[in-house]
Amino acid sequence: MSLRTRKLTIACLQINAHWGTDVLSSIRHADALLAPLLQAPTAPCSSTNRVRSDKKPDILVLPELAFTGYGFPSRNAIAPYLEPTGRGISTQWAQRTAQRIGCHVIVGYPERPDGSSVAKDEGPIYNSAVVVGPSGTVLYNYRKHFLYEADEKWGASSGQGGFGSLDLKIKNSAKLVSENENEMRIRVVLGLCMDLNPEKFEAPFTKFEFGNFAVTNKADVIIMPMAWLAFGQAESNNAKDAADVQDIEDEPDWRTVHYWARRLTPVVSQYAQGEQRKTSNTVFVASNRCGIEDGKITYAGSSCVLQFCNDASVQLIATLPKKSEGVLITDVNI
């Protein structure tokens, strides 16, 4: 079968947002990092740690709990930051930004379903991500399916609908195969951080729950907002110890990037199945946070775009370093 190629422009914002700080301050900081995209139609990103592009993105991805920070110690601690489903401060920012840039925006936030209580022990709350279209319309709300121990500390409930899947319409005829087409549809599979791991770290590694879901749902693009810990952090629970494990230079955390790719083994395997193989590339987008939170938690950064190719190879298209904030923007073929 011949390879069907369509061009897509992806952007990731890697940011260091701490819990317990003013969400509006985090939002202003995000706007500052994204300023070239928001202000000039063809300006490259201001960060020195990014792939240059002269195009606006079709999709902009932010990390898990992007503006609130992640390591909340209790439900009481996160309660002031909980947002109503698809209409809180994070969603409002996504709507404004999507309209200003003219792209889809995906951002993680702590969700309190409409009408539920924010009291310490009442009502379900979720670790969620909202998808907003270029017009500012809320298209999808995803609730994290596999919970990490940090989610359980602040009382998050598991999203019972499984992993996420939706179709996006990308309107940009210059990127399409045929001049007669005015939009392309892409299948997006959506997860949050721990969703990529074996369930509860108890399932067999080779069960590849999320990777198999991506294959079954014929993903064109796999998108994961993340608050992924630095390699060694989970064992040490000490930011200094975790920093000692890593290289001094601010380069990507390659062990983390390789692990992400390994967890998507089924996506590679699908290209070796004879006439049944997928005839287009699959792209993986990880938007992770960086920095140290509360003096205890070190995040891996290393936001990246990987391409799983029709020839069963895996290509690193672009990545950010592990310590620095910045904007990654790059073109991919799907």
Active-site residues, by number, are 64, 144, 193
Q: Distance between CA 129 and CA 227 in Å, rounded?
A: 12
Quick one: tokens of 265?
């083994």
Reported residue count of the chain is 334
Task: Count helices and strands (H / E) in the chain.
Answer: 10, 15
Give the β-pairing of 292-293 and 297-298: antiparallel
Residues 147/124, Cβ–Cβ less than 8 Å: no
**Strand 184-190 to 221-226 pairing:** parallel
Inter-residue contact 223 to 189 (CB < 8 Å): yes
Amino acid in position 280:
S
Alpha-carbon torsion (47, 91, 110, 205), positive or negative: negative
* Residue 294, both tokens: 């509360």
Q: How far is CA 315 from CA 167, 187, 210, 293, 310, in A?
A: 24, 20, 20, 31, 11
Of 70, 153, 75, the C-alpha closest to 118 is 75
Q: Is the dihedral of CA 25, 29, 34, 38 positive or negative?
A: positive
On whether the CB atoms of residues 267 and 44 are closer than 8 A, the answer is no
CA distance 285 to 282: 10
Give CA–CA dist 128/328, Å, rounded: 22
DSSP-derived 3-state class of residue 139: strand
**Residue 109 three-state SS:** strand
